[in-house]
Amino acid sequence: MLRYYTAGESHGEALVAFLSGMPAGLKVDQAFLDRELWRRQQGYGRGGRMKIERDKAHILSGVRHGSTIGSPIAVLLENKDWKNWTDALPVEAGDPSKHKRVASPRPGHADLAGALKYNFPEARYVLERASARESAARVTIGALAKLLLRELGIEVLSHVVAVGRAALEKEVTWPAIAQLCQREEMLLNCADAPAEARMKEEVDRALQTGDSVGGVFEVVAHGVPPGLGTYAQWDERLDALLAAAVMSLQAVKAVEIGAGISAAASPGSAVHDEIGYEKTSGFSGFTRTRNNAGGIEGGVTNGEEMRVR
């Protein structure tokens, strides 16, 4: 059973990525882990902190002689900035006068809800944990999972579909996404140059007014065989598990599988992906005219590309 958890505060000594249940014998490519962490730190319009950090996956356990050994994997992501926070956020009692209080909770964040829950007089401890930085630990875990999936012929990539009102207007194919994700310089990780330029403008406008701006990303899994997940019990459906995983990311407020949102406004005939058969095609010979289902029907993969936004 594959299980993962994270620990660590944004300005604490380190994040910990914890992954239990990986099979033994999988080659672990340290450079790939670090590249995935680097990718997380790219993006246009981000704060100065991204430049400080340059995360590196420090593997503590579960990997020996370059391969997994079946034992739990723990990875340390040290915070380069920790030395500047030892007075403000010490593990031990420390000097309370050096605490950096967050007196004004930010709407749209966990600040107020979290402080009410845990009975904190201010929001510092909340935002330390309910922080986008936590996703670095998930990226590490995801990178390890990608190495495993790759052995099974499955590749998982992602790209940006919309920023503010600037949206990708054409469908992006797998090769275009694959090429995009190889780039050595990233702007907004959009596969379409004109759309990316418009997205950049959206960010610029927000930055000028001290605002932020929403967006949409798409995760695509290529090479997924049919039959993963099951309709048999509600909590074993793959769509439910994916929705939970994606919604659990900071700042995500909606999850869509395939063309789920526009499908709600459409007749069934315009949505359902007609089934054909060609002996030599794909995993099973069955073919589809399109992929509005995003690769999942009834909570089970159908052999098409999985697309989650």
Q: Does 211 bind a copy of itself (CB under 8 A)?
A: yes
Q: Does 239 bind a copy of itself (CB under 8 A)?
A: yes
The Cα 238–Cα 221 span in angstroms is 13
The Cα 276–Cα 308 span in angstroms is 24
Q: Does 103 bind a copy of itself (CB under 8 A)?
A: no
Classify the phi-psi angles of 24: left when phi > 0, otherwise alpha if psi is within -120 to 50, otherwise beta. beta
Token pair belonging to 290: 């399109």
Binding test (CB under 8 A) with a copy of itself, winner from 49, 71, 149, 172: 71
CB 179 to a copy of itself: min, Å? 25
Binding test (CB under 8 A) with a copy of itself, winner from 73, 160, 191, 306: 73
Q: Which of 75, 62, 74, 59 is nearest to 26 (CA)?
A: 62
Q: Does 179 bind a copy of itself (CB under 8 A)?
A: no
Q: Does 117 bind a copy of itself (CB under 8 A)?
A: yes
Classify the phi-psi angles of 308: left when phi > 0, otherwise alpha if psi is within -120 to 50, otherwise beta. beta
Q: Does 52 bind a copy of itself (CB under 8 A)?
A: no
CA–chain centroid gap for 260, Å, is: 19
Helix (H, G, I), strand (E, B) or coil at 101: coil
CB 184 to a copy of itself: min, Å? 24
Q: Does 62 bind a copy of itself (CB under 8 A)?
A: yes
Binding test (CB under 8 A) with a copy of itself, winner from 265, 278, 279, 280: 265
Size of the site for a copy of itself (CB under 8 A): 132
Other Cβ atoms less than 10 A from the Cβ of 29: the count is 15
Placement of tokens 């620990």 in the chain: 7
The answer to whether the CB of 159 falls within 8 A of the CB of 42 is no
Q: Which is closer to a copy of itself, CB of 135 or CB of 178?
A: 135
Span of 22-30, 48-56, 168-176, 192-200 interacting with a copy of itself by CB under 8 A:
22-30
Q: Does 114 bind a copy of itself (CB under 8 A)?
A: yes
Q: Does 218 bind a copy of itself (CB under 8 A)?
A: no
